[in-house]
Chains A and B, each alone.
Chain A
Amino acid sequence: MFSADTRRIVLAHFWLAFAAFLVALLLGEWQMLVRSPLLGWIGNPELYYRSVTAHGSAMGYVFPTLVAMGFGYAIVELSLGQELRGKRWAWAGFGLVVLGTLMAMIPVAAGRASLLYTFYPPLIGPAAFYLGIVLVVVGSWVWVALMSVNLAAWRRAHPGGTVPLPMFANLAGAYLWAWTSLGAALEILLQILPVAFGWKSTIDAGLARVFFSWTLHAIVYFWLMPAYIAFYTLVPRAIGGRLYSDAMARLSFALFLVFSMPIGVHHLFQDPQVGAGVKFLHAVFTGMVSVPTMLTVFTITASVEIAGRLRGGRGAFGWLRRLPWHNPMMLAVAFSFILLGFGGAGGLINMSYQLDFAVHNTQWITGHFHLIFAGAIVIMYFALAYDLWPHLTGRALAEAKLMRWQLWLWFVGMIVTTFPWHAVGILGMPRRMAYFDYTHPELQPLAYSVILSTIGGLMLVLSGLLFVYILLRGHRAPTVPLPRFRFSEPAQPLGAVPLALNSHGLWIALMIGLTVVNYGYPIVQLALLPQTSVPAVPIGGPP
């Protein structure tokens, strides 16, 4: 079932997400262009950082949060087969996200909050910027609560039933987000807002960075969840295969819940306020994230192989040729895995205490998270939007050729954009620079890389425009009678699922326990340490 009201809710979330995405995409390309030797220097670094702030905040906070929320509402009805409860609350949550986005983006657009999306203290912007972010987060907490309420309602109606995999994964993402957003929320409420309101003039920047790292890394796994849900529950069905293992899928989501949050200190490897032992502990658990990632790569590859063999593929690699490569979902999952492979390999370097020294704060980092998020994850957002669109609009989405063009452009564009960043990052080109002096004899040989990335960015802009165009066309296509929406079926009939894989309690307890172990001491120690605050540096005030 998919009620008209809920479809409107999902469409509102998706369209706001894609609108924010498109604006941020254009800003990103503008940033590449003005930094490249192709165009003269804009003369004012503030304009550049204003744009970076808007790009990062829209892409990092608004776009993926709304996709996860919209997809979550759709999953409730499509997988549980019950009408979404709390539609008014869902609209209220959406309203909070809209309000928060406007509140944060108005000071950014006015050049009074060019803090970058990490808003690291001691930089302090206007209170409206932080309150806007808080509202976006509170809006998403409404979603978390609604997901929990809807699952509880389903459990009451199906005592002892096995929660469908999409909803199990959806809830894992929701609980992960609820817990991980707490770090930045604490940072804003306890540390930043008193300064932004003018009640205090100093701030403990080191402690603030520790709080932010609580959110900063796991937020990526929250972005990742819709993509992983699509891997497990949409891809095998869309390409005519079966999910290799339902239990492996549940275990992966459970492990993401446990391991993705208490590892954020690897973002602080160069920060002096955190001890080396704590950093090592976080590095070890960061390594553990590769376990659910590898489980996923294995399970999805096996599921795809099932599809290839069902279509008559033979031999060790023959099944690859028989895969439905004309199918946008097939292309998307292949591209996503390739980008995930490169991005993941780079991530192993970032998480190594020693190797990180070489790439810290360089363009390598920018390249890494664009490969993972803008590459592997966002390409699956495209695919899941294509997959859901007919069920949201009731109209056919018959632009397979355009979709393939769009996905190819995004894939190639992302590689052309990010590979040069990796290369020059190793050579030491710093990130977040508004300006490069290409007349400098040592920068001049790197100029080509910025031009390459600008060209890659142009391909991404074309792809983004094409994506929105395809979705808009979908609203005008003729209505079609649609079969019931199906998620992937497991290859083997679902037997009795252990209680641990049919509920989230154990994994939430481990997540919270591990947070206490990994974050408890550094936070308490820094909070109790006297004389650690530095004068706040106001941004956007009178010079």
Chain B
Amino acid sequence: MNRLFSWRNRWFAGSVGAVLGLALLAALAGFLWLPAAQGPRNAGWWEAICSAAGAVLPYRAQGAPDDSAVRPSNVIVGAQMMTPAGEAAIGRGATLAQNCSMCHGARGMSPAGTPHLAGQPAAASYKQLRDFKSHHRRSAIMEPLVENLSDEDMRDLAAYYAYLPRIPSQGMGGTPPRLVGNGDPLRNIGACAACHAASVAKPAVPQLDGLPATYLRAQLLAFANGTRRNDLQEQMRNAARQLHPDEVEELVTWYASR
């Protein structure tokens, strides 16, 4: 054995050298070259190595892009994210909502192609307001309007709109498109209703029934081309990206008609 484990033994030297050399080359490629070629442009070498190794670093270092470019949202979504709102909160929300009525309607039902807010789950409205404020969701109109709202203001607004009754549309409804109920497992598209059906009540998920077709279409396309990206797990982008234009129309028409 002594003779085997010696650098004089060419089997030992050759095999250990070859395996180590290969490991070194593979590590250089995997930890330096590939991250440098594919990773974020501004990241330094150390960050590239850490990210290739799977180390969890703080998301932003000095000089890195701002939070909205790195994370989909800074809202922590959970079942208990909204405390039950009392009448006082709803009243404050109603006052603040004067600012919103120009587009979203006096009672949260919009005639202007903007989304109806009446009856939307409070968590859904609150998350969108927060995302506009932190620029995780971009809108030239909404971002300046929420600039000065406090967290309390946004919670109250959301509570007020959740309190308002939804006026059911006179739509036909009918048989839902297959994507709504089944999704398309072969393309890894989940069923829309798995989150958006009212009975599911997932936190921070908006109700789509009766929303204006123009708004629904614009959002699906924005998710598809990545201009909107405040969906936490990229669930909307992954689904919308794969939709055929006909399917987008089918979904928009059906949800708008409800």
Interface string of A279-290 (1 = CB under 8 A from B): 111001100100
CB of B4 within 8 A of CB of A525, answer: no
Task: For the complex formed, measure the closest distance between the CB of A188 and the CB atoms of chain B, giving whole angstroms.
Answer: 24
B1 within 8 A of partner (CB):
yes
Asked whether B201 is an interface residue with its Cβ less than 8 Å from the other chain, the reply is: no
CB-based nearest B residue for A521: B53
* A-side contacts of B184, CB under 8 Å: 442
Interface window among B15-23, B141-149, B224-232: B15-23
Chain B nearest CB from A430 CB (Å) reads 7
B31 in the interface (beta carbon within 8 A): yes
Q: Which of B5-13, B117-125, B163-171 has 4 or more CB atoms under 8 Å from chain A?
A: B5-13
Q: Which of B60-77 contact A (CB under 8 A)?
A: none
* Chain A CB within 8 A of B52 CB: yes
Does A156 interact with chain B (Cβ within 8 Å)?
no
Interface flag for B26 (CB, 8 Å): yes
Contact partner of B22 (CB less than 8 A), chosen from A277, A288, A522, is A288
Q: How far is the CA of A330 from the CA of B55 in the complex (A)?
A: 52
We find that the number of chain B residues with CB closer than 8 angstroms to chain A is 34
Q: Which of B4, B12, B182 contacts A440 (CB 8 A)?
A: B182
List, in ascending order, chain B residues with CB within 8 A of A503's CB: 1, 4
B55, A275: Cβ atoms under 8 Å?
A: yes
Assembly CA distance A388 to B41 (angstroms)? 63
Q: B53 and A280: CB pair below 8 A? A: no
Given A285-B26, A429-B186, A500-B12: A280 in contact with B34 (beta carbons within 8 A): yes
Q: Which residues of chain B have C-beta atoms less than 8 A from A38's C-beta? A: none
Q: Which residues of B are found within 8 Å of A400, using beta-carbon distances? A: none
CA distance A503 to B56 in the complex (A): 42
For the complex, what is the distance from the CA of A278 to the CA of B29, rounded to whole Å? 11
Given that A275-B53, A500-B15 are known contacts, is A280 also in contact with B23, CB under 8 Å in the complex? no
Are B26 and A284 in touch, CB under 8 angstroms?
yes
Does residue B51 face the partner (Cβ distance < 8 Å to A)? yes
Chain B interface, >50% SS class: helix
Q: In angstroms, how far is the closest chain A Cβ from the Cβ of B159?
A: 31
Do B4 and A277 touch (CB < 8 A)? no
Distance in Å from the Cβ of B39 to the closest Cβ of chain A? Answer: 9
Q: Which B residue's beta carbon lies closest to that of A275?
A: B54
Q: List which A504-529 residues lie within 8 A (CB) of chain B.
A: 505-507, 509-510, 513-514, 517-518, 521-522, 525, 529
Are the CB atoms of B52 and A275 closer together than 8 Å? yes
Bound Cα distance from A419 to B225, whole angstroms: 37
Q: What CA separation (Å) do A428 and B129 show in the bound complex?
A: 38
Give every chain A residue within 8 A of B182 (Cβ-Cβ). Answer: 440
Residues of B within 8 A of A480 (CB): none
Question: Given that A428-B187, A522-B54, A529-B56 are known contacts, is A514 also in contact with B23, CB under 8 Å in the complex?
Answer: yes
In the complex, residue of chain B having the shortest beta-carbon distance to the beta carbon of A507: B15
Does any Cβ of A come within 8 Å of B210's Cβ?
no
B29 surroundings in chain A (CB, below 8 A) = 280, 284
- Known: A514-B19, A521-B53. Contact between A277 and B30, CB under 8 A? yes
Nearest-CB residue, chain B, relative to A424: B186
Q: Are B186 and A427 in touch, CB under 8 angstroms?
A: yes
B3 contacts chain A at the CB level, 8 A cutoff: yes
Complex contacts, A348 vs chain B, CB 8 Å: none
Closest A residue to B48 by CB, please name it.
A277
Chain A residues positioned under 8 Å from B4 (CB to CB): 499-500, 503, 505-506
B112 at the A interface (CB under 8 A): no
Tell me the complex Cα distance, A277–B47, Å: 12
Please determine whether A274 and B186 come into contact, CB atoms closer than 8 angstroms. Answer: no
* Tally of A interface residues using CB under 8 Å: 38
Residues A505 and B186 in contact, CB atoms below 8 Å apart:
no
Max chain B CB contacts within 10 Å: which of A275, A284, A509? A275
Q: Is A276 positioned at the interface, with any CB of B under 8 Å from its CB?
A: yes
Tell me if B27 counts as interface (CB < 8 A to partner A).
yes
Q: Which residues of B contact A442 (CB under 8 A)?
A: 184, 186
Residue from A288, A427, A510 in contact with B16 in the complex, judged by beta carbons closer than 8 Å: A510
Q: Bound state CA distance, A183 and B26, in angstroms?
A: 23
Q: Which residues of B contact A529 (CB under 8 A)?
A: 56
Q: Does A33 contact B (CB under 8 A)?
A: no
User: Measured between alpha carbons, how far is A132 from B3 in the docked complex, in Å?
Assistant: 43
Chain B positions within 8 Å of A509 at CB level: 5
Query: Which chain A positions have C-beta within 8 A of B187?
Result: 428
Q: Are B23 and A506 in contact (CB under 8 A)?
A: no
- A473-510 contacts to B, CB under 8 A, are 498-501, 503, 505-507, 509-510
Nearest-Cβ distance from residue B1 to partner chain A, whole angstroms? 6
Which residues 246-297 of A have a CB within 8 angstroms of B? Answer: 258, 273-281, 284-285, 288
Residue ID in chain B nearest A530 by CB atoms? B56
Contact of A278 with B1 in the complex, beta carbons under 8 Å: no
Q: CB < 8 Å: which of A258, A277, A505 contacts B34?
A: A277
**Chain A residues whose CB sits within 8 angstroms of the CB of B1 once the complex forms:** 503, 505
Give the distance to chain B from A162, nearest Cβ to Cβ, in Å. 15
Cα separation A505 to B4 with both chains bound (whole Å) = 8
**Chain B residues near A430 (CB-CB < 8 A):** 185
Assess the A525–B54 pair: CB atoms within 8 A.
Answer: yes
**Chain A residue at minimal CB-CB distance from B51:** A275
CA distance A499 to B5 in the complex (A): 10
Min C-beta distance of A290 to chain B, whole Å: 13
Determine the distance from Cα of A442 to Cα of B16 in the docked complex, in whole angstroms. 53
Shortest B30–chain A CB gap in Å is 3
Q: Are B22 and A284 within 8 A (Cβ)?
A: yes
Q: Which chain B residue shows the least CB distance to A427? A: B186
Q: Across the interface, name the chain A residue whose C-beta is closest to B31.
A: A277
Q: Which A residues are in CB contact (< 8 Å) with B52?
A: 275-278, 280
Complex: A501 Cα to B11 Cα, angstroms: 9
Complex CA gap A443/B188 in Å reads 14
**B35 proximal to A (CB < 8 A):** yes
Best-buried of A430, A500, A525 by chain B (most CB within 10 Å): A500
| CB within 8 Å for A273 and B54 given contacts A428-B187, A430-B185, A500-B4 | yes
Shortest CB–CB separation between residue B13 and chain A, in angstroms? Answer: 11
CB <8 Å contact, B16 and A276: no
Judge if B49 is at the interface, Cβ distance under 8 Å: yes
CB distance from B24 to the nearest CB of A (A): 10
Using a CB-CB cutoff of 8 Å, which residues 214-237 of chain B contact chain A? none
| Interface contact B15-A510, CB-CB below 8 Å | yes
Q: Given contacts A277-B27, A280-B34, are A506 and B51 in contact (CB under 8 A)? A: no
Q: Is the CB of B19 within 8 A of A276?
A: no
B186 and A428 contacting across the interface, CB-CB below 8 Å: yes
Given A278-B30, A279-B30, 8 more A-B residue pairs with CB atoms under 8 Å apart are A276-B51, A276-B54, A277-B34, A284-B25, A427-B186, A428-B188, A503-B1, A521-B53
Which B residues form the contact surface with A (CB < 8 A)? 1, 3-5, 9, 11-12, 15-16, 19, 22-23, 25-27, 29-31, 34-35, 49, 51-56, 178, 182, 184-188
Q: List 16 A-B contacts (CB under 8 A).
A: A273-B54, A275-B52, A276-B52, A277-B34, A277-B49, A277-B54, A278-B30, A278-B52, A280-B26, A281-B23, A440-B182, A499-B3, A499-B4, A501-B11, A506-B11, A518-B23
The 8 closest A-B pairs by CB, nearest first: A275-B54, A277-B52, A280-B30, A500-B11, A284-B26, A277-B30, A277-B31, A428-B186
